[in-house]
Amino acid sequence: MSIQLTHQYLDLGQAFSRPVLPESFPEPKLLLWNTDLADELAISVTASERAQVFSGQLLASGSRPVAMAYSGHQFGQFNPQLGDGRAHLLGEHESANGQLVDIHLKGSGRTPFSRNGDGKCGIRPAVREYLMSEAMHALGVPTCRTLAVVSTGETVFREQPVPGAVVTRTAESHIRVGTFEHFAARNQPAELSTLVDFCISRHDFDTPESGPEKYLRFFSQVIDKQIKLLINWMRVGFIHGVMNTDNCLISGHTIDYGPCAMLGVYDPQTVYSSIDHQGRYAFGNQPAITHWNLARLAECLLPLIADDQDQAVHLIMPYIEGFSDRYNQAYRQMMAHKLGFNTADEEVSSCADELLKLMHANQMDYTHTMTALLDPDKDKSLSALNAWLSSWQQLLHKWNINKEHSVQQMKANNPLVIPRNHHVERILKQVEENGDLNELKTFLKVLKSPYQTSKHISQYQDLPTDQDQNYQTYCGT
């Protein structure tokens, strides 16, 4: 077995985590193994050991499993005591390029943070996490990735009995805004300072060694990472569904694929999550919620920036207030690239805004419409855009943009295939009900190259017949 783990997070101190072993399972069986990721991370585990190691039954050398402590704002309401209720951080592994990566089990049993939960995971949400995280990675969206899915051989009881499974998630770290909130709520500035130092070291933040500027620069770089993540979500039409502060990683990577979905018909108010009754986490609200989450992080950092709270607020407010301009500039640039432009001036941004208004008014599919623009004469679904198409093409001509360059720009930013909700649910149902992984593996091959035409791609590009009108997603706990 070529996997050697360290326990740096455990070493931060008792306040940060609770030592706890994964539960025993009757018959662990490997369902999915991510060969590409294993090679990238230089993880070599024999076929016979994989089910045991990645269900927590056999610990790798150096592993000292813990459940991580954190708090969080859930749908705007603060919960001071969350933590890993069904997950175990096995330790950190050094990848082939020297980067430390968390090896983290999900669905591996009860922990001190489980409250009334059983700490388990059903096979459907486990496979969903594998499928969606790999799709997002291929789309170029920063994300945690899944190394393995192991069935446990036991039944998990949710709305109905379902097979149990354990997911092995890898991440640059699992530090959340909610981790900072945990210590801020308990008035523990020493632990907050330790957490900042850990993040700076782990994620290569460029900050001074001390003083207020250290924390301001740290915060500014967290903003950059969140904007990059958010822009990519908006680019491909991803709806997270549960943007609580405990699901907001400092590293700027996507985490928690329970209630997530992909946008079909363009509507900024689209919500698929069954628990988001007020539309707080709708597609078009994601920028405002990211801003809100960052403001919660800023509040945690105040005692580190200055002893006087008013002075600390004065120093950090320009960063909070500057978020919208930073995001809007990045968003305009992203939309310009989707439409074949190199940069975004007012005319280009107005052109993009008008397209989105027309798509909304005419109930047009977000992904399909963008890819149809590559050859607009061939697609009848664009008939409602005739006047806009003329002005768009005139603007490209005005910018003197080479057609081939424009097409390549659009191809690089508009996926030909996404994990459409109706295909995801149909395939997950096959896995849950009869253990059939064949179509899942075909789907994963297609999703691996979302910007290129490939074998079988056409069977996953069709639009849902009901436009996802009654579609709902669930948290999977």
Query: For residue range 242-266, what is the model confidence (pLDDT) as tens digits?
Result: 999 999 999 999 999 989 999 999 9
Per the annotation, does 86 bind a ligand? yes
Q: Are 103 and 65 in contact (CB under 8 A)?
A: no
pLDDT band at 381 (very low <50, low <70, confident <90, very high): confident
Could you identify the residue written with the tokens 């499974």?
A: 165
37 found inside a domain: yes
Query: CA-CA distance, 164 to 109, in Å (whole number)?
Result: 11
Q: What pLDDT, on a 0 to 100 scale, did the predictor assign at position 116? A: 87
How many CB atoms lie under 10 A from the CB of residue 424? Answer: 23
Per the annotation, does 252 bind a ligand? no
Per the annotation, does 85 bind a ligand? yes
Per the annotation, does 332 bind a ligand? no
- Is residue 307 helix, strand or coil? coil
Query: CA-CA distance, 231 to 93, in Å (whole number)?
Result: 29
Q: What pLDDT, on a 0 to 100 scale, did the predictor assign at position 470? A: 87
Residues 11, 84, 102, 246: which is the catalytic one? 246
Q: What pLDDT, on a 0 to 100 scale, did the predictor assign at position 354? A: 98
> How far from the centroid of its chain's Cα atoms is residue 141's Cα?
8
272 found inside a domain: no
Tell me the mean pLDDT in the region 186-191.
97
Q: pLDDT by residue (tens digit) across 203-244?
A: 999 999 989 999 999 999 999 999 999 999 999 999 999 999
| Phi and psi at residue 89, to the nearest 5° | -80, 110
| Phi and psi at residue 419, to the nearest 5° | -75, 80
How many CB atoms lie under 10 A from the CB of residue 337? Answer: 18
Nearest to 247 by CA among 151, 328, 129, 131: 129
65 found inside a domain: yes
136 found inside a domain: yes
Count up the domains in the chain and report the number. Answer: 2
Query: CA-CA distance, 245 to 231, in Å (whole number)?
Result: 18
Is it the case that residue 477 has pLDDT exceeding 70?
no
122 found inside a domain: yes
Q: Are 4 and 62 in contact (CB under 8 A)?
A: yes
Q: pLDDT by residue (tens digit) across 21-62?
A: 999 999 999 999 999 999 999 999 998 899 999 999 999 999
Task: Tell which of 171, 190, 218 closes a domain.
Answer: 171
Q: What pLDDT, on a 0 to 100 scale, did the predictor assign at position 105? A: 98
Per the annotation, does 169 bind a ligand? yes
197 found inside a domain: no
457 found inside a domain: no
133 found inside a domain: yes
Is it the case that residue 87 has pLDDT exceeding 70?
yes
Tell me the mean pLDDT in the region 66-70.
98
Is it the case that residue 476 has pLDDT exceeding 70?
no
Share of the chain above pLDDT 90, in %: 90
Q: What pLDDT, on a 0 to 100 scale, did the predictor assign at position 56? A: 97
Domain range holding 164?
5-171
Query: CA-CA distance, 173 to 432, in Å (whole number)?
Result: 30
Instruction: For residue 102, indicate whether it is catalytic.
Output: no
How many CB atoms lie under 10 A from the CB of residue 178? Answer: 30
Residues in Cβ contact with 223 at an 8 Å cutoff, skipping those fewer than 6 apart: 294, 319, 323, 326
Report pTM: 0.97
Q: Are 33 and 150 in contact (CB under 8 A)?
A: no
Tell me the mean pLDDT in the region 177-190.
98
Per the annotation, does 83 bind a ligand? yes
3-state helix, strand, coil in the chain (%, to 5): 45, 15, 40
- Is residue 90 helix, strand or coil? strand
Q: pLDDT by residue (tens digit) across 117-172?
A: 899 999 999 999 999 999 999 999 999 999 999 999 999 998 889 999 999 999 99
Per the annotation, does 178 bind a ligand? no
Task: Tell which of 138, 171, 204 closes a domain.
Answer: 171
Per the annotation, does 119 bind a ligand? yes
Q: What pLDDT, on a 0 to 100 scale, did the predictor assign at position 1? A: 66
Integer-rounded Cα Rg, in Å, for the chain is 23
